Chains A and B, each alone.
Chain A
Amino acid sequence: MSIVLTKSFKEPPFCKKEILRYAGCKTIDSNIEELLNSCIKEAEKRFTYKVCYTQLDLNISDDVCDFGLFSVKSEGLAANLRNCKKAILCGATVGVEIDRFISKYSRISPSKAIMFQAIGTERIEKLCDAFCDDFEKENGVFLKPRFSPGYSDLSLTTQKELFRILDCPKNIGVSLSDNMLMSPSKAVTFFCGITDSTDKVVLNKCSHCSKHDCQFRGKI
C-alpha cells in the first residue's frame, strides 16, 4: 500500500547569488543590492515549507514507467529513472505568502515583484534540495535529479496523476487548475529515482536537461 507522508521544513538560508541569477542580474550595483536586501528582509519567516511524498515501486520497459498505481509514457522520464527499482513522487510548496508579495508588488512596484519572483524560485528549489538531502540521509540512499511534468517529453497532464496520488490540496494546500497551473505558484511536483549508488546520480543538474536554449543553462 502506498502511503503519503507530509513534512515541514525550517526556513533554509537565503542565497543572494541564486536570487540575483533568477532575477536576471549578472552584475550587481548598490541600488539592486538594496532592493534585494529589503525584499529578503520582508520575506524572512513569512513562508511555510511543506512537502508531501510517497514511495512507489517502479518497473521500466522502453519508454513506459510503471508505478503500480499508474504508468507514464515518456522517454525523458524513463531515461532519468533508468536502473531505479523505486522512485518517490513528491509535491512541495513554500505557501501562499510569496504569491501575495508578487501580486502586491506587481501592482505597485514591479522591480520588487521581479525580486520576489526570483526569491520564490530560489525558495522552492532550496526546499526541494533540503527534502532530497534529508531523504537520502534518513534512508541511506541516493536520489537522481528531480524530474517534473513539463520536462522533456513528460506531459503536463501527468500533474493530474500526481495530484490524484499525493492529494496535494489536502496535504500541502496546493491545487491544480484545469490548465495544469498550480496554486500557490511557487510549488513543484516531481519524480525522483532512488538508487544505492552515486555512480548513477548526475551531479550537474543541467546536463540531463533537453532545454538547450535555457538562459540559465550550465551555470548551476
Chain B
Amino acid sequence: MNFLEYLNSNIVFLDGGMGTLLQSRGLKAGEYPERWNITHSDIIIDIHKSYYDAGSNVVCTNTFGANILKFDEIELEDIVKNAIANARKAAETSLSNKQKFVALDIGPSGKLLKPLGDLDFEDAVDVFAKTVKLGVKYGADLVIIETMNDSYETKAALLAAKENSSLPVIVSNAYGEDGKLMTGATPSAMVALIEGMGADALGANCSLGPEQLRNVAVELINNASVPVILKPNAGLPRIEDGKTVFDITPEEFADEVCTLVKMGVRVVGGCCGTTPEYIKLLEEKIKDLSPIPIIDKNKTVVSSYTHTVEFGKQPILIGERINPTGKKRFKQALLENDMDYILTEGVNQQEKGVHILDVNVGLPDINEVEMLKNAVCELQTVTNLPLQIDTANPLAMESAIRRYNGKAMINSVNGKKESMEAVFPLVKKYGGLVVALTLDEDGIPETAEGRVAVAEKILETAEVYGISKKDIIFDTLAMTVSADNNAAFATLKSLNYIKNNIGCHTSLGVSNVSFGLPYRDAINGVFFSLCLENGLSAAIMNPYSADMMKTYYAFRALKGLDENCADYIANSETFATTVNTPIAQTQKTPEEYGSELQKAIAKGLKDKAADLTKALLETIEPLDIVNNEVIPALNKVGIGFENKTVYLPQLLMSAEAAKSSFEVIKAYMSNGEKTANKGIVVIATVHGDIHDIGKNIVKMLLENYGFNVVDLGKDVPPETVLGKVVETKAPLAVLSALMTTTVPAMEETIKLLKNDAPWCKVVVGGAVLTQDYADKINADKYAKDAMEAVRYAEEVMKF
C-alpha cells in the first residue's frame, strides 16, 4: 500500500523530536545535525528505529536543514543519500508490523525571502528543488515540508516539490502564540495556499504544545478539505540541572492530541521535546479510533500573505482602479514605470474599504509580463489585500501568479477552447480562484440561457483539469444598457441562475452597464443593488464612487449583514458626493508663508495642498504654480532643515504635501507633458543592501525639485546602474548604502561608472557613509542628508 492509499483510510503516525534527542547524545549547539547522518549513522538509525518501534508509520529523515545554502553539492548529496538509507535501515530492522514510510524532511532555508529578506523567490525554489531531486533519487516515499514560518517560503518549497517529483507532499507550518505564522498568515490563509497547490495534507508543528495549538488545529480542520497534520512540541522548554526539560508529560500530550484527533486531525506526531515514549503513548491511545472522513468544505476563497477573503457570506468589493483603461494619468504612470503611483492607488482603495484589488497593467507599449509580475510583487509590499490578477496574456498571468504570495483571484478564463487550454493548467498548478466569462467562440450570448450554457461548458472542462467548482466564479458580463435596453436583464437572469441553480459564485464588472450615459454613478449604484439582490457575490467596482459605496453599505444593513448597522453608520459621513471645499481666498495669510498653498506645504498638509492647487489651477498656469508657489515653499522648509530649525519628519511632510500638489498639476495637464525636467538622475541602493528608506527620501525630494528620477530600487548590481546611466545619459547617479559590508559594492559601482560613463557624477549617502569613506571610494560628493543631495544635483545640472 502506498502512502496516499494508507492516508486515505487510516490515522497516520509520524515520528517525534529529533533535535532534542541528538543533543542528549552529544550534538553541540551550533553543530549541523545533518552531518550526523554520515558521522553518527548508528545513532540516527537507532533514533529512527525507536520511533518505528513506538508505532510511527512515517519517519522524517534527518535533513531539516539539508540544503544547498548550508552544504556544497557533494556533501548535500551525501547527506540526503545517507539520511534516507538510515531511515530505510531503521524501517527494515524495526519489529513493528505497521505500515512504514520514509519521508524526505524539508525545513526552512534559514533565509527570509524578498521583500522582507534577501533570498529571491525563484532562488528559494531552486534551493528546495535540489534537495527534492535528491530525495527522489534516493527513494523517499513522500516529502514532508515542515516548520515553515513564512507563507512565501512554504509556497517556494511546495512548488519545488511539485515541479521535481511525483511523490506525495505534506506540508506543516510553525504557528506562533498569536495563532499566525511569523510573517502573518492565519491557518485558513495557509489552507487556501497549500490546498490550492495540491498538497496531500497540511497542518501545524513545532513552536507550541498541543493545547496552545488547539485553536490553530480547529481552524485548519474547519477549512481544509485534505487531511490535517498536528505535530506539536512537548510544551515549552526550561533548564533544570543544566538539561532541557519540557513541561508537558507524555500522558498529557497524548490526551490533548487524542481530543484533536476526535475533532478531525488525521496525521499526528510530535516535535521538539517529544520522544519515542510520547509517540508510543499517543499510538496506544489513538489506534482504536476510527478516522474521521475528510469532507470537502466547499469554500470559495482567495488569500493574501495574511488572510483569506471568503465568497458567499458578505458581498465582496474588488477595487477596479489599478487599470489603465480610460485613465490618462495611470497610462502615463505605466509608461514612466512610476510604480509609486500604482502603489498609492492600491493603498487608497484599501482605505476606502475594498476587500480585493484588481491589478491590470496591460498597455501596448510596455512589457506586460515584467510589469504585471513587478506590480503584483510591489503591491504585496504595501497592502495585505488579496489581488485579482487581470490579464489576457497567459505568460503575464503565469509570471504574476507564480510570484503571488497567497491564493490569487485570476481574471479571467472564458468558454473559448484556447482560453481554457491556456488558463486552466495555471489554475491547477498554482491554485487560484478563476473568473470565468460567459462568452465563447460565438461571442457573448444575448440571452441568459446562452450564457448559462457557456458556464456549464466551462465547468465541464474545468473538471477534466481537476479544478473544482468552488474555484470558479462566473462573470455573466454586464453590457451597456444605452446600446440595448434589455442588456441588464440577461446579465441579472444568468447570474441568478448560476448562483441558485448551478451553485457557483458570481462576479461582475458592474460599471460597464452605464457606458455612454451621463452621471453614470446613478445607474451603476442601482444596477449594483439589483445584482446583489440576484445573488451577486462580488463586484469589480470604483470604491471612490459614493453611489456604489452607499449601495453596498445600505444593502448590507437591509439584509441583516451589518450588525446594529454599525458599518453603515460608521461610513455614512462619506456617502455625500464630494464637494470641493470653497477656498477662503480672502483669509489673511501670515506673511512668512507667502500664500495659503505655501503655508499648507510648509505645514505638511497633503489634502489641503491638493485642494488649494485645484482651486489655483482655475486661474493660474500650472508652471506658475510650481515656480511661484510650490518651489518657494519647499525651499523655505529646505533652508530651515539645513539650519536645523526644521527636522527630518517635518521636511518630509512638506515634501509629501508638495508631491500631492504636483499630482493635481500632473492630472490637470491632459496632454501628458512633463511639469518640469531639470535633468535625469539615476538612483539606487547598492548591491547586497536591502534597506531603501534613505534612497526613497532622496528620490522624493529630487522629484519635488523637478528632476526626472530613474529609481532602480534596492540591491542593485553595479552593471545595472551603469547600464541605466549609459542608456539615459544621466549626468548624476545617487547611490545609497546602509552597512559597511555593502560599501565595497558602492565602490565597485563607482569604479564601473568612472570607467564606462565618465560624464556621470556620483553622489553617495547612507548611515555608515562619511566624507572619508566617500573620498576613499572615489565618489564625487558625499551628501550627509537628502537636502544636500538636492543641492548637489542642482549644482551638477547648473541651476
Contacts and interface: CB of A to CB of B under 8 A. Distances in A.
Contacts of B582: none
B588 interface: no
Nearest to B698: A110
A179 B742 contact: yes
Contacts of B649: 23-25, 32, 35, 111, 114-115
B712 interface: no
A106 B692 contact: yes
Contacts of B693: 102, 106, 110, 113-114, 117
A107 interface: yes
A76 interface: no
Given A2-B29, A5-B239, A24-B648, A169 B696 contact: no
B23 interface: yes
A23 B738 CA distance: 17
Contact of B696 (A25, A48, A106, A161): A106
B183 interface: yes
B696 A111 contact: no
B482 to A, nearest CB: 38
B739 A180 contact: yes
A69 interface: yes
B115 A103 contact: yes
Interface string B690-714: 1111001100100000000000000
A148 to B, nearest CB: 13
B650 A32 contact: yes
Given A96-B183, A103-B382, A117-B693, A175 B111 contact: yes
A188 B148 CA distance: 22
A181 B690 contact: yes
Nearest to B237: A5
A111 B29 contact: no
A106 B28 CA distance: 43
A31 interface: yes
Nearest to B645: A27
Contacts of B127: none
B443 interface: no
Contacts of B648: 23-25, 114
A97 interface: yes
Contact of B604 (A5, A31, A104): A31
A29 B343 CA distance: 30
B239 to A, nearest CB: 6
A43 to B, nearest CB: 14
B540 interface: no
Given A1-B242, A5-B237, A180-B739, A108 B382 contact: yes
Interface string B621-657: 0000000000000000000000000011110110110
B652 to A, nearest CB: 4
A205 interface: no
B68 interface: no
Contacts of B696: 106-107, 110, 113
B4 interface: no
Contacts of B177: 8
A170 interface: yes
Contacts of B739: 156, 179-181
B117 interface: yes
Contacts of B378: 107
B723 interface: no
A117 B650 CA distance: 15
B544 to A, nearest CB: 17
Interface string B370-387: 000000001001110000
B182 A48 contact: yes
Contacts of B110: 169-170, 175
Contacts of A115: 649
A177 B347 contact: no
- Size class of the A contact interface (CB-based, 8 Å): 35 or more
Interface string A81-112: 00000000000000111011011101111110
Contact of A156 (B239, B340, B740): B740
A69 B30 CA distance: 8
Contacts of B178: 48
B689 interface: yes
B533 interface: no
Nearest to A184: B116
A96 B184 contact: yes
A8 B740 CA distance: 31
Nearest to A32: B649
A111 B652 contact: yes
A54 interface: yes
B238 A5 contact: yes
A128 to B, nearest CB: 19
- Size class of the B contact interface (CB-based, 8 Å): 35 or more
A154 to B, nearest CB: 13
Contacts of A1: 23, 28-29, 242-243
A62 interface: no
Contacts of A175: 110-112, 117, 119
A72 interface: no
A110 B689 contact: no
A114 B243 CA distance: 44
A158 interface: no
A178 B655 CA distance: 35
Contacts of B339: 107
Nearest to A169: B110
Contacts of B652: 109-111, 114
B543 interface: no
B381 A103 contact: yes
B789 to A, nearest CB: 14
Contacts of B343: 107-108
Contacts of B183: 96
A26 B645 CA distance: 9
A220 interface: no
A177 B688 contact: yes
A181 B741 contact: yes
B537 interface: no
Interface in A99-151: 99-100, 102-104, 106-111, 113-115, 117, 150
Nearest to B348: A108
Given A24-B648, A69-B28, A156-B740, A99 B653 contact: no
A185 interface: yes
Given A5-B238, A23-B648, A103-B115, A111 B182 contact: no
A36 B659 CA distance: 21
A54 to B, nearest CB: 7
Interface of A: 1-5, 8, 23-27, 29, 31-32, 35, 48, 54, 69-70, 95-97, 99-100, 102-104, 106-111, 113-115, 117, 150, 156, 161, 164-165, 167, 169-170, 173, 175, 177-181, 183-185
Interface of B: 23, 28-30, 107-108, 110-112, 115-119, 147, 149-150, 176-178, 182-184, 237-239, 242-244, 339-340, 343-344, 347, 378, 381-383, 603-605, 647-650, 652-653, 655-656, 688-693, 696-697, 700, 738-742
- By Cβ-Cβ distance, the 6 closest A-B pairs, closest first, are A111-B652, A183-B117, A173-B182, A179-B741, A164-B30, A183-B112
8 contacts: A2-B29, A5-B239, A25-B648, A96-B183, A107-B340, A169-B111, A179-B688, A179-B742
Given A24-B649, A167-B29, A179-B688, 19 more contacts: A2-B29, A23-B647, A23-B648, A31-B603, A32-B647, A48-B176, A69-B29, A69-B30, A70-B30, A95-B182, A104-B381, A107-B339, A107-B343, A107-B382, A110-B652, A111-B649, A170-B108, A177-B688, A177-B690
